[in-house]
Amino acid sequence: MSEAEIKPSIHFWLRRLHSLSGIFPIGVFLLEHMFTNAFILGGPEAYNHKIEFLRSLPFVAFIEITFIGIPILYHALYGLYVWGTGKSNLTWYPYPRNFLYTLQRWTGLIALIYIGYHAYHTRIVNALFGTEVSYARMAELVSVPWVFWFYVVGLFAVMFHFANGIWGFLISWGITVSQKSQKIAGLSAALVSLALFSVGISSLIHLVNHP
């Protein structure tokens, strides 16, 4: 009779790191970022001023790479690996949570593409070519209809992924245990994300309406 062996595995730790990285630093950065975006609603001056301030922070490149770039890259790549370990079965088991499970994976992918595009045009171009990032440039970018809609979709993907991610994080770390607490946590996360999503959308619309 085969003895039930336990093979030690690095994946538990990588998975927990993945879960954690989604909240910290990525989630924290997302909050900060959406807060900054809200300055768009205050007009070009307020927004540009805010950007100036951020850019003037010491070690900004180091902070960006260590706390934003690498975590997002890790979260994305390991996330893709995790996607590969599963196999969706929505057709036969169309339960709401199963739907969210599948959606989490797809929104992760969309968010990755979106963030890549977004980061390139709003940050990397600056680093490579010195293109100035400002209210005006943002307005110009989203004035192209497909870019606008791409932003809407991307923003939605990010926000859904974030909300559902918080819910999952709370379970994966054993913070919400009972089904009731999981439900409350899920709803709360959804509300927070919805709020952030509205901020994002209002900023976008503001940019289009007030170029």
Partner 1 sequence: MKEKKPEKVIIRIKRQESPEAKSYWEEYYIPYRPYLNIITCLQGIRKTLRTFDGRPTTPVAWESSCLEEICGICTMVINGRVRQACSALVDQLEQPITLEPMKKFSLVRDLIVDRSSIFENLKRVKAWVPMKDTQDRGPGPKILPKDQQINYALSRCFSCGACLEVCPQVNERNDFVGAAILSQARLFNRHPIGKEIQLERLKALVGEGGIEDCGNAQNCLEICPKDIPLIDSIAEINREITFNLIHLIKGK
Partner 2 sequence: MTTSTKKEAIVIGGGLAGLFATIKLGEKGIPVNLFSIVPCKRSHSACAQGGINASVNTKGEGDSPRIHFEETLHGGDYLANQAPVMGMCEKAPSYIYLLDRMGVAFNRTPEGDLEFRRFGGTKFHRTAFAGSTTGQQMLYALDEQVRRLEVEGLVTRYEGWEFLSAVLDDRKSTRGIAAINLTNLEIRTFPGDAVIVATGGPGMIFGRSTNSMICTGSAAGSLFQQGVWYANGEFIQVHPTAIPGEDKHRLISEAVRGEGGRLWTYKDGKRWYFLEEWYPKYGNLVPRDIASRAIFKVCREMKLGIDGKDEVYLDISHVDPKLLKERLGGIIEIYEKFVGDDPSKVPMRVFPAVHYSMGGIYIDSRQMTNIPGILSCGECEYQYHGANRLGANSLLSCLYGGEVAAERTQEYFDGLSEKGDSGSLRWLEQHRKLEEERLESLLRMHGKENPYQIWEEMGKWMTDHVTVIRYNDKLKKTDEKLVELKERLRHINVGDPTHWANQAVIFTRQLQNMLELARVITLGALRRDESRGAHFKPDFPNRDDEHWLKTTVAKWTPIGPEFSDEAVDTSIMQPKERKY
CA-wise closest residue to 73 among 13, 133, 119, 32? 119
Among 89, 149, 191, 198, binds partner 1 (CB under 8 A): 89
6 binds partner 2 (CB under 8 A): no
- Least distance (Å) between residue 161 CB and partner 1: 13
Handedness of CA 78, 125, 158, 104 (dihedral sign): negative
- Least distance (Å) between residue 94 CB and partner 2: 23
The whole-angstrom separation of Cα 186 and Cα 98 is 14
Among 62, 129, 145, 179, binds partner 1 (CB under 8 A): 179
Among 1, 6, 10, 128, binds partner 2 (CB under 8 A): 1
Among 3, 13, 145, 180, binds partner 2 (CB under 8 A): 3
Contact 171, 182 (CB under 8 A): yes
128 binds partner 1 (CB under 8 A): no
211 binds partner 1 (CB under 8 A): no
Peptide bond before residue 25 is cis, with ω within 30 degrees of 0: yes
How far apart are the two ends of the chain, measured CA to CA in Å?
73
130 binds partner 1 (CB under 8 A): no
State CA 194 to chain mean position distance: 13
Residue 177: helix, strand or coil by DSSP? coil
CB atoms inside a 10 Å sphere around CB 34 = 20
| Number of alpha carbons in the 13 Å side-chain half-sphere of residue 86 | 14
131 binds partner 1 (CB under 8 A): no
The nearer residue to partner 2, 1 or 10, going by C-beta atoms, is 1
The nearer residue to partner 1, 95 or 146, going by C-beta atoms, is 95
Site of interaction with partner 1 (CB under 8 A): 2-9, 11-16, 82, 84-89, 91-93, 95, 97-98, 100-102, 167-168, 171-179, 182
Site of interaction with partner 2 (CB under 8 A): 1, 3-4
